[in-house]
Amino acid sequence: MKSFLQQSVEKYRKVTPTLNTIENIFNISSDLSSGVYDHIAFRTFKCSGGISIVSDELEKYGYQEKESYMFPTKKIRAKWYLNPKDLYLPRIFVSQIEDNLLSRLAQNIIRSNTDSSHSKLIGFPGYIDEDEEGESKIKSWVPSVLFDEYQYLKQESQYAAWTLIHGTMINHVAFSISNLKHPEMSGFDSLERVNTYINNLGVPIVDVDGKTINVSRDGLLKQSSTVADRLCLPLRTSKHNDDPTLIDVNVGGGFVEFIDRQKEGFDPENPLNIFESTNVNNKQ
Ligand code: OOG
Ligand code: NI
C-alpha cells in the first residue's frame, strides 16, 4: 500500500506539471527517502481541523514535531516535523490559516464551503487534461465555491482562496540544492546557479521587486520558488442548482521550491514571499 506521503504527492502532482519538468531536468527519482527532498509543505484551514489533520497521519509514520511559528501578517501558524527513524525522509512543514482572524465575510465563505470532506485529506478532487493550447483544464468537477466568493476571498487572503479550492493538500515540495545533480557537472554550488539553469530552460522563478532569492537574517537559509502552475477551473455563479452558468477562472496550482540550507528548521521571516507563490498575478 502506498504511504500517506506518496499518495499526497501524487495528488499535488496533478495540479503541478512543473514537478515533472523539474524531475526530468535533474533526473530526480520519486523515492521520497532519496535525500533530495528537503521538505514538503501542506496547507490547511484551522476551522476544519488544521495542522492536526496532517500531523495525526505523520505521527503514525514516526514523525515528531520540532518547532512552531506564527506569521502574524498572514494570519498563518505553522509547525514542522522530522522523522528520526529515517533522516532521509523530507521534513514536513504544515501550516494553517487562523480563519477566525479573517473578516466575517471571509469566515462565512470558508465555513459555508468546507463541509466534512474538507477536513479529510481530499487533495484535488478533479482531474486534469490538456487542451489544444497545452493549458491544463480541470474536467468533471465544479467546486461549491461561487465565482464571487472566490474573487472576494482571493483579495483578502490568497492562501485561504487556494486552500478552499484544493482542500487540505501539499502546496509545494522543496528540493535541497546540495543534492541536485547537474547533467554535465558534479552538482550546483549555489542557489543562483540553480535558478539561472532552470530559468534558461523556461521555468519561471518568483521575482518580487527584482529579488528571486529569500535569504534569512543570519544568511543560513536561502529559498526560491517556481511560479505556481495555473489551472483553468469553472466556478458557479449561483448556489441554485437550476442555474448552470459557469465562469472559467485561472487558479493557482502547486509550485516547487529550491533551498540552500546551512541550518536546521525554518525562518519566520523568510517565507513571506513563498506564501505568495500561488498568487496567479505572478509573472509567468
Ligand atoms: C509555505 C511557505 C513556507 C518555507 O519553506 O519556509 C515554506 C506555503 O507557501 O504554504 O514552505
Ligand atoms: Ni517551503
Instruction: Tell me the pLDDT tens digit for each residue of 70-99.
Output: 999 999 999 999 999 999 999 999 999 999
What is the pLDDT averaged over residues 17-29?
94
Q: How far apart are CA 76 and CA 226, in angstroms?
A: 21
Rg value, the chain, Cα: 18
* Residue 104, domain member (yes or no): yes
Range of the domain at 249: 2-278
- Residue 146: how many CB atoms within 10 A of its CB? 18
* Residue 125, domain member (yes or no): yes
Cell matching residue 53: 489533520
Q: What angle is formed at CA 11 by the lines to CA 81 and CA 266, rounded to 5 degrees? A: 25
Atom of ligand 1 nearest to the CA of 76: 10
Cell matching residue 272: 513571506
Residue-wise over 101-127: b if at least 16 C-beta within 10 A, else e? ebeeebeebbeebbeeebbebebbebe
* Residue 218, domain member (yes or no): yes
* CATH (domain of 18): 3.10.180.50
Enter the pTM of the model.
0.91
What is the pLDDT of the chain when averaged over all its residues? 87
Say if residue 129's pLDDT is above 70: no
Q: How confident is the model at residue 241 (pLDDT cuts 50, 70, 90)?
A: confident
- Residue 180: how many CB atoms within 10 A of its CB? 20
What is the pLDDT averaged over residues 175-203?
89
What is the pLDDT averaged over residues 108-132?
67
What is the pLDDT averaged over residues 99-117?
90
What is the pLDDT averaged over residues 154-170?
92
What is the pLDDT averaged over residues 31-45?
94
Task: Identify the pLDDT of residue 42.
Answer: 96
* Residue 145, domain member (yes or no): yes
Task: Identify the pLDDT of residue 159.
Answer: 94
What is the pLDDT averaged over residues 215-220?
93
Q: How far apart are CA 86 and CA 31, in angstroms?
A: 13
Least confident of 32-41, 180-189, 256-265: 180-189
Task: Write down the H helix ranges in the chain.
Answer: 4-14, 17-26, 51-60, 104-113, 147-156, 158-166, 191-200
* Residue 47, domain member (yes or no): yes
* Residue 175, domain member (yes or no): yes
Task: Identify the pLDDT of residue 258.
Answer: 97
Nearest CA to ligand 1 atom 11: 41
Cβ–Cβ < 8 Å for 30, 9: yes
| Cα of 182 from ligand 1 centre, angstroms | 25
Instruction: Collect all residues with Cβ–Cβ distance below 8 Å to 143 and sequence separation of at least 6.
Output: 113, 164, 165, 233, 235
158 or 125: which carries more pLDDT confidence?
Answer: 158
Task: Identify the pLDDT of residue 62.
Answer: 95
Q: How far apart are CA 252 and CA 176, in angstroms?
A: 23
Task: Identify the pLDDT of residue 136.
Answer: 60
1 or 223: which carries more pLDDT confidence?
Answer: 223
Atom of ligand 1 nearest to the CA of 174: 5
Q: How confident is the model at residue 188 (pLDDT cuts 50, 70, 90)?
A: confident
What is the pLDDT averaged over residues 37-43?
97
End-to-end CA distance of the chain: 38
Cell matching residue 268: 519566520
Q: How confident is the model at residue 135 (pLDDT cuts 50, 70, 90)?
A: low
Cβ–Cβ < 8 Å for 157, 110: no
Nearest CA to ligand 1 atom 5: 271
Half-sphere exposure of 102 (CA within 13 A, CB side): 26
Say if residue 217's pLDDT is above 80: yes
Residues with CB under 6 Å of ligand 1 are 41, 43, 93, 95, 171, 174, 223, 257, 266, 270-271, 274-275
Ligand 1 pocket test: pick from 91, 172, 222, 223 the residue with the most ligand atoms within 8 Å of its Cβ. 172
Ligand 1 pocket test: pick from 91, 96, 165, 275 the residue with the most ligand atoms within 8 Å of its Cβ. 275
Q: What is the DSSP letter of 49?
A: T
* Residue 283, domain member (yes or no): no
Cβ–Cβ < 8 Å for 34, 89: no
Task: Identify the pLDDT of residue 1.
Answer: 40
* Residue 156, domain member (yes or no): yes
What's the number of domains the chain is made of? 1
Task: Identify the pLDDT of residue 133.
Answer: 64
